[in-house]
Amino acid sequence: MIKISHFSDAQQHGDAIRGWRNHYYQLTPGKLDSSLAEVVVTDMHVFREHFSHEVAQFGTSPAGAISFALPSIEGEAPKPTDSRASCSLYAISNGAEFTLHVGSDADTLVLVVDAGQWWDAVQAAHSTQSPRQYPGGLVRCDTRAYPEATRRLRQQFEAALTSPLMPDVPSVQKVFRDSMLCTLLDLRPGETDQRGDFLGKAVRADVVRRSRDLVLSAGGEPVTVLDICRAFRFSRRAIQTIFLRETGVTPLVYLRAIRLNEVRIQLMSSARGELAIGDVAARFGFYHLSHFAADYRSLFGELPSETPRRAAATPLRRPTR
């Protein structure tokens, strides 16, 4: 589901957010203008809310989920009323109560992740960290990673928000969900898995080869970095090190290149009337066609529409009498 809504009442805004029991109160005078943009896929609900006025938020988070709130880089972070510290990442889990104040022109991105999906991703990406609960409040994050991670999360969200493929294509939804999870996981400090630093070249090469085989054997189902972590039981940091040392690029760049090459193979082996570019792009998890086209041109030096296609078979003509 993709939805964009506008409100002139704070409580109507709060009531529109699915799964939350919200009480929103406008604190500063004047006519309120707010917007709520949402992307809902399996096991994840991402929304961005903007308020023209200061608003107090009270309520209960969705049961069975962990929610993370991140402000815009330019804006001001939501402030838990019981905290004196300044931090840019707020987390709450499994139906806990929350109290937040957001300032005028606040623009906050919220990721609501199924708890099982989140802990599976944590275990896959950060092998040395164990599950924990978030009762509601500021959480420690990697401050060096925060600006770039926040930029990527917002960029991925905006791409999903404008993608016509997102509501109906499961492979596209998977790539979006795993991309958001991986970026959010980049904010977690304390990863100490250093196995990738000590593996020999033969082992590194084998991991890369088997990763490629995993992509090619998936039958068009996109394989993400989290899938690689799960398959080979290496943390995200170890997989990152393996790919950088063996290929010179990150696993994300490598897997995207494999997917782009597969798209190119499909295009070159089909006639223009047989297979649409958007269909094959969606098959391999590319959910924003303009970003896909830019990545394709960057890798191959031409747009997908410029790639040579197989000539269409000439239909047989019946002899005339």
* 13 and 140, same domain (yes or no): yes
Residue 212 lies in a domain: yes
Per-residue pLDDT band for 76 (boundaries 50, 70, 90) equals very low
What CA–CA distance (Å, rounded) separates 38 from 197?
Answer: 40
Confidence of residue 295 (pLDDT cuts 50, 70, 90): very high
Q: How far apart are CA 247 and CA 224, in angstroms?
A: 17
Predicted confidence at residue 106, as pLDDT, reads 82
| pLDDT, position 133 | 67
The domain spanning residue 223 has which CATH number? 1.10.10.60
The answer on 129 and 236 residing in a single domain is: no
Query: What pLDDT is recorded for position 128?
Result: 60
Rounded Cα–Cα distance for residues 303 and 306 (Å):
5
Q: What is the mean pLDDT of the chain?
A: 82
Residue 183 within any structural domain of the chain: no
Q: Is residue 31 part of a domain?
A: yes
For the chain, how many residues are written? 321
Residue/partner pairs of 309-314 with CB below 8 Å, 24 or more apart: 309/267, 309/268, 309/270, 309/271, 309/272, 310/268, 310/269, 310/270, 310/271, 311/271, 312/271, 312/272, 312/273, 312/274, 313/271
The answer to the question of residue 132 being in a domain is yes
- 86 pLDDT band, cuts 50/70/90, is very low
Range name among 152-156, 214-218, 300-304, 312-316 with the lowest pLDDT average: 312-316
Does residue 315 lie within any of the structural domains?
no
Question: Per the domain annotation, does 150 fall within a domain?
Answer: no
49 and 108 co-located in one domain: yes
- The total number of structural domains in the chain stands at 2
Same domain, yes or no, for 110 and 206? no
Q: What range does the domain containing 202 cover? A: 193-306
Same domain membership, residue 46 and residue 112: yes
pTM of the model: 0.75
Judge whether 321 lies within some domain. no
Question: Which pLDDT does position 164 carry in this prediction?
Answer: 82
pLDDT at 34: 94
Last residue of a domain, one of 144, 179, 202: 144
pLDDT band, residue 49 (cuts 50/70/90): very high
Q: Residue 10: pLDDT band by 50, 70, 90 thresholds?
A: very high
**pLDDT tens readout for residues 143-189:** 777 888 888 899 899 988 988 878 888 888 888 998 898 888 877 76
Kindly state whether residues 112 and 202 are assigned to the same domain.
Answer: no
Are 140 and 7 in a shared domain? yes
User: Helix, strand or coil for residue 317?
Assistant: coil
User: For residue 194, what pLDDT band results from cuts at 50, 70 and 90?
Assistant: low
Q: What is the pLDDT of residue 316?
A: 42
Instruction: Specify the pairing of strand 106-114 against strand 44-51.
Output: antiparallel
Question: Band of the pLDDT at 47, cuts 50, 70, 90?
Answer: very high
Whose tokens are 């209960």? That residue is 60
Of 144, 160, 175, which closes a domain? 144
Distance CA 195, CA 189 (A): 17
Residue 315 confidence (pLDDT) = 47
pLDDT at residue 272, as a whole number: 81
Whether residue 209 is found in the same domain as residue 276:
yes
Select the more confidently predicted residue: 97 or 134: 97
Candidate ranges 66-70, 125-129, 313-317; pick with highest mean pLDDT: 66-70
Q: Are residues 132 and 204 in the same domain?
A: no
Residue 107 sits in a domain of what CATH number? Answer: 2.60.120
Per-residue pLDDT, 150 = 85
Domain presence at residue 106: yes
For position 9, what pLDDT does the model report?
Answer: 94
Q: Are residues 14 and 135 in the same domain?
A: yes
Same domain, 104 and 229: no
Last residue of a domain, one of 123, 144, 165: 144
pLDDT digits (tens, 9 = 90+) for 261-291: 989 998 998 888 888 888 888 888 787 888 8
* Residue 77: predicted pLDDT: 43
Residue 211 shares a structural domain with residue 111: no
